Amino acid sequence: MLAFLVVACGPDLPVGWEDAEPVASLVQHECDGTPYEPYDVTLDADLSGSPVSAAVHNAHFRCAQDVEGFWQWSGDALQILVQPSDMNPRIVAGCDCLYDLDITVEADGTPTSLEVWERQDALNDPNEPERVATQPSP
């Protein structure tokens, strides 16, 4: 008789983000820029209540790399982490891209600000999250 152990694995989240929730929706647009020239990550968000919607422009990830998002509260600030769906890829593209992302978060409450964090895959060292954009409430 064969027995199998099924282990439920959650997302690969960094320290401090272990209890973060998946975003309700994340749309990753086609690569539309290069990080090899100067660029800024920008953020346009509606923080007036739930759901919170955010448009992130110029998120930097590898070419052809799918990303996922997670959110958590830090006091009254809503934090969103965007990272590759596969944090331990075996094969990666030899280039990087800038992506626009449309993100929706179903969170109870109205944030005083929104922070967007990026984290690269485990082939980079270090791959700790970096805050790339912030928007205060109006």
- Spell out the per-residue pLDDT of the chain, length 138, in tens: 555 555 556 789 999 999 999 999 999 999 988 999 999 999 999 998 889 999 999 999 999 999 999 999 999 999 999 999 999 998 898 899 999 999 999 988 889 999 999 999 988 776 899 999 999 866
Q: Supply the pLDDT for residue 135.
A: 93
Q: Supply the pLDDT for residue 109.
A: 86
Integer Rg of the chain from CA? 16
pTM: 0.90
> CA-to-CA distance for 17 and 124, rounded, in angstroms?
19
Q: Supply the pLDDT for residue 49.
A: 82
